[in-house]
Amino acid sequence: MSNKTVRQLAEVVKIPLERLLEQLKEAGLSASAPDDVINEDEKMQLLAHLRKRHGKDEGAAEGSLKRVTLKRRTVSELKQASVPGSTTKTISVEIRKQKTYIKRSEVTESDEQRNLELAKQAVKGQVAPQTESFPTAEEPVKAQETVLEQKKEAAVAPEATPAVEEQVTAEPEVEHIASQPIETLSPSLAVEEEAEVSPVLDLEAETDYESLVKAKESTEARKKQHEKDLRLEESIKRNAEKVRQQASAKQEILHRKKQEESSRAGAGGRDTKKAKKKGKKTERVNVKPEGKHQFEMPVEPIIKEVTIPEMIIVSDLAQKMSVKAATVIKHLMKLGIMATINQSIDQETAVILVEEMGHKAIMQSDDDLEQEMLAEAQADDDNRVELPRAPIVTIMGHVDHGKTSLLDYIRKTRVAAGEAGGITQHIGAYQVKTDHGSVTFLDTPGHAAFTAMRARGADVTDVVIVVVAADDGVMPQTKEAVEHARAANVPIIVAINKIDKPDANPDKVMQELSNINVLAEEWGGDVQFLRISAKTGEGIDDLIEALIVQTEILELKAPVEGAASGIVIESRLDKGRGVVATVLIQKGTLESGQMVLCGHEYGRVRAMFNENGVSIKEAGPCAPVEILGLSGTPNAGDEFLVVQNERIAKDLAKHREDRKKLSRHAVQQASKLDEVFSRMTTGEIASVNLVLKTDVQGSLEALRSSLVGLSNDEVEVKVVFGGVGGINEGDANLALASGAILMGFNVRADATARKLIEEKGIDLHYYSIIYEAIDEVKKAISGMLAPEIKEQIVGLAEVRDVFKSPKFGAVAGCMVVDGYVKRNLPIRVLRNNVVIFEGQLESLRRFKDDANEVKMGMECGIGVKNYNDVQPGDQIEVFERIEVKREL
């Protein structure tokens, strides 16, 4: 606030000196010369005079002045050397600034609201660029906006200035102005505070000083508003801080809890540590808000009801009793059982253990558990209306007799003609529509597949077509097919094929079949015989007719309504589509999108296709369909059913998987020879089923008739299948499916059959004397099986080469492939799994030394006493005779 001379004032307010002198004179001030000094009071006096002269008092000014526009014009010069060394270029830049201030009262309520919002956003750090704001020096946003305005208005002088330079010049200018002390910008007038944003006033238009005062007032009002906003902002911040504090308090509690747990783990011994290492869940501790444990030590022992399935893993049992596995193992040791944490123990042992530990054991059979779960899974099944259904047919026969050709012919003519699109892919089953109804064919030709399915518990086939070539007659596999179909109690239809061939002799076929008790209707029997040609199609319609007739006799029925169930025919993993399973629906209707369980796999049916690859939404009984969406590939023969929800499907699948792991031998335990009598006496069985394999046809017939002759009033001895040759997988499957005992007379099981026999626990007996076999079965059915000497095979060696030795004769260079070979034990020589010699070892050598025993994986030289016909490829079986105590 300094005094100024009249000249200085005229310069500052930019009006001619004379005019100012005149105005001073009019106002009655003493200053009359340019160098006279004017003080603050005189300035105010001049101001009052000017107001009066324009007839404006304060009130009027207040009413009228609502908007003030401040302008500033600056001209500056920029020096620029474009290239180093060249002459410097001077650029003039003129910048005009304009700012409009709106009186506070004009600000509408909505503007205030928006301001409030802005304040809130500022707290959150989300201020959006504004297009309008107030001249509050504190707002950094404002300065930035001013720059934007300047940029818009900057008028570039004749020497065109690049936009970049313009910006460079304009920006610091504003910052500079904003930070300058107010006084230096407006030294002479009482509007200093405004000057921070409006440095130079254009008084030429005699802008009213009063309005500037008003502007000052409105700025104060805005400031107040701003303060209010700031207070709001503060309160928002405080709230945010509160929330933060609460969160960190929570964090603190969690942290403390963890620390407590880890300190307890440190003191709790090895078990807890181990459990942690393995990533097992440790017991959850509830912490009260004050950080206290909720757990209270039980005051008396808790007696639990422990359900025990047929087999249970030690760790699971421990968990059920809420004790450590080590405790269970300790108790098991007391019972004389050494078991590890992952081993399973049987139900009886588990019950004793549970009772011993003071709990109550509830025995639960796996079947009960599964039935319970299934009952929960399936809707009420009993009250559904059953309607006639199509027969399910399997085609069997000897190699090259025309099974595939017959299937192909039916498929091509029937399916392709009836359905648009024709055959697009292979599917394990397909349905043929006829005038009298439909027929479903299982495209798994051969009795091996048929029996393998049965062995897995899937008796799907209603009728078997046995194909016999008219030019070839009944062959070994024809007989096998007949026997397999009979073992399954399935009616047979005989198709005499290739009747178009000149050398066809259907009568011969009929004759041969009658020899194995397959008698044609026209010969007084009960089997339909049809003459067909899979090549020309002759008689095939009649064959289908015959099938329909057979269906009528069988009165096949199935419910159409309700949840579907059936059998898995085959499954595969498709690269593009995932698991593809072909299922045959036996009951109910399967709909796309339903949850299904197949063996130990499950999933929602994502898509469904019929045998022609056409997408369908639902399928009824006897329809074969491909379904997508299962969790894995189920086995052929697995049962499939629709369940209510995924949880049940998952539980059942897991239960089945566990059961499979635990009880591998459960399936066939019921068919042991030494259990025959006890099962007979309990009324469980009334027949002894046998599968016989012999070295020659003669011994087969002799054995068969002798064994069947053992039947009496109480029990029937049935040979479900008899054949010549080594025991193969099909024989093992048949024994499994028909609950039969396998008997090998001078024959052995091949590797695959051995694996299956071992896996399923099938009872297999080898004999080399017919009398022995008969005697054993006789004793079994009369309950007289006494302790006796049993043979146990201890090793098997394969003959790789044969050398002639002057001392020992033929010496077989062998590799021991199983068990061990011992010098003093008896041996047998096998060729193609048939026994060709039984005797003793003459010599056993490793390199040039005599050996007493040679183990699996080692080579040795074997000389067989009194036998010189050993050949490469033969097998030498070493066995010992041990005494077995029988328990009936």
Ligand X SMILES: Nc1nc2c(ncn2[C@@H]2O[C@H](COP(=O)(O)OP(=O)(O)OP(=O)(O)O)[C@@H](O)[C@H]2O)c(=O)[nH]1
Residues of the shown chain interacting with ligand X in the complex, contacts defined by CB under 6 A: 397, 399-405, 445, 497-498, 500-501, 533-535
Q: Is 403 annotated as a binding residue?
A: yes
- Identity at 201, one-letter amino acid code: L
- Specify the residue, 467 or 641, whose C-beta has the smaller distance to ligand X: 467
- Specify the residue, 499 or 653, whose C-beta has the smaller distance to ligand X: 499
Q: C-beta of 445: minimal distance to ligand X in Å? A: 6
HSE value, Cβ hemisphere, 13 Å, CA-based, for 619: 28
Task: Tell the residue number behind the tokens 């747990």, with chain if given.
Answer: 261
Nearest one of 722, 720, 724, 721 to 697, comparing CA atoms: 724
- Residue 720 tokens read as 């479900």
Separation between Cα atoms, residue 126 and residue 142, nearest integer Å = 16
- Specify the residue, 402 or 621, whose C-beta has the smaller distance to ligand X: 402
Tell me the pairing of strands 311-313 and 305-308. Answer: unpaired
Neighbours of 549 (CB within 10 A): 13
Q: C-beta of 499: minimal distance to ligand X in Å? A: 7
Q: C-beta of 424: minimal distance to ligand X in Å? A: 21
Burial 394-410 (b: 16+ CB within 10 A, else e): bbbbbeebbbebbbebb
Q: C-beta of 408: minimal distance to ligand X in Å? A: 7
Q: C-beta of 466: minimal distance to ligand X in Å? A: 11
Q: C-beta of 529: minimal distance to ligand X in Å? A: 16
Q: C-beta of 467: minimal distance to ligand X in Å? A: 6
- Residue 270 tokens read as 């090895």
Separation between Cα atoms, residue 428 and residue 432, nearest integer Å = 14
Instruction: Give the orientation angle of helix 476-487 with respect to helix 447-455, to 10 degrees.
Output: 30
Q: C-beta of 572: minimal distance to ligand X in Å? A: 20
Nearest one of 739, 748, 729 to 446, comparing CA atoms: 729
Task: Tell the residue number behind the tokens 């040759």, with chain if given.
Answer: 725
- Specify the residue, 475 or 519, whose C-beta has the smaller distance to ligand X: 475
Q: Is 635 annotated as a binding residue?
A: no
- Specify the residue, 151 or 501, whose C-beta has the smaller distance to ligand X: 501
- Residue 247 tokens read as 């969160």
Separation between Cα atoms, residue 431 and residue 419, nearest integer Å = 11
Q: Is 136 annotated as a binding residue?
A: no
Burial 119-134 (b: 16+ CB within 10 A, else e): beebbeeebeeeeeeb
Q: C-beta of 532: minimal distance to ligand X in Å? A: 7
Helix (H, G, I), strand (E, B) or coil at 525: coil
Q: Are 884 and 790 in contact (CB under 8 A)?
A: yes
Tell me the pairing of strands 4-5 and 392-397. Answer: unpaired
Q: C-beta of 565: minimal distance to ligand X in Å? A: 31
- Specify the residue, 307 or 404, whose C-beta has the smaller distance to ligand X: 404
Q: Is 444 annotated as a binding residue?
A: yes
Q: Is 445 annotated as a binding residue?
A: yes
Q: Is 818 annotated as a binding residue?
A: no
- Specify the residue, 49 or 535, whose C-beta has the smaller distance to ligand X: 535
Q: Are 747 and 726 in contact (CB under 8 A)?
A: yes
Q: C-beta of 475: minimal distance to ligand X in Å? A: 11
Q: C-beta of 838: minimal distance to ligand X in Å? A: 36
Q: Is 401 annotated as a binding residue?
A: yes
Q: Is 274 annotated as a binding residue?
A: no
Q: Is 426 annotated as a binding residue?
A: no
- Specify the residue, 534 or 625, whose C-beta has the smaller distance to ligand X: 534
Q: Which residues, other chains included, contact 263 with Cβ-Cβ below 8 Å and sequence gap of 6+?
A: none
- Specify the residue, 166 or 472, whose C-beta has the smaller distance to ligand X: 472
- Specify the residue, 21 or 470, whose C-beta has the smaller distance to ligand X: 470
Separation between Cα atoms, residue 196 and residue 207, nearest integer Å = 18
Q: Is 404 annotated as a binding residue?
A: yes
**CA distances for 748 relative to 765, 776, 828, 875, 880, angstroms:** 10, 19, 11, 11, 16
Cα angle: 403, vertex 406, 408; to 5 degrees: 105
Separation between Cα atoms, residue 28 and residue 52, nearest integer Å = 13
Neighbours of 844 (CB within 10 A): 22
Q: C-beta of 482: minimal distance to ligand X in Å? A: 15
Q: Is 398 annotated as a binding residue?
A: yes
Q: Is 537 annotated as a binding residue?
A: no
**CA distances for 196 relative to 65, 279, 420, 634, angstroms:** 20, 68, 89, 85
- Specify the residue, 535 or 754, whose C-beta has the smaller distance to ligand X: 535
Q: Is 499 annotated as a binding residue?
A: yes
**CA distances for 404 relative to 397, 409, 544, 613, angstroms:** 10, 8, 16, 20
Per-residue DSSP letter, 302? P
- Specify the residue, 534 or 870, whose C-beta has the smaller distance to ligand X: 534
3-state secondary structure 378-435: CCCCCCCCEEECCCEEEEEECCCCCHHHHHHHHHHHHHHHHCCCCCCCCCCEEEEEEC
- Specify the residue, 312 or 449, whose C-beta has the smaller distance to ligand X: 449
Q: Are 284 and 260 in contact (CB under 8 A)?
A: no
Neighbours of 729 (CB within 10 A): 20
Helix (H, G, I), strand (E, B) or coil at 815: strand
Neighbours of 589 (CB within 10 A): 18
Compute the residue count for the chain. Answer: 888
Tell me the pairing of strands 565-574 and 639-643. Answer: antiparallel
- Specify the residue, 481 or 811, whose C-beta has the smaller distance to ligand X: 481
Cα angle: 832, vertex 838, 843; to 5 degrees: 105
Q: C-beta of 429: minimal distance to ligand X in Å? A: 16
- Specify the residue, 448 or 870, whose C-beta has the smaller distance to ligand X: 448
Q: C-beta of 401: minimal distance to ligand X in Å? A: 5
Annotated binding site: 397-404, 443-447, 497-500
| Residues placed in the known binding site for GTP | 397-404, 443-447, 497-500
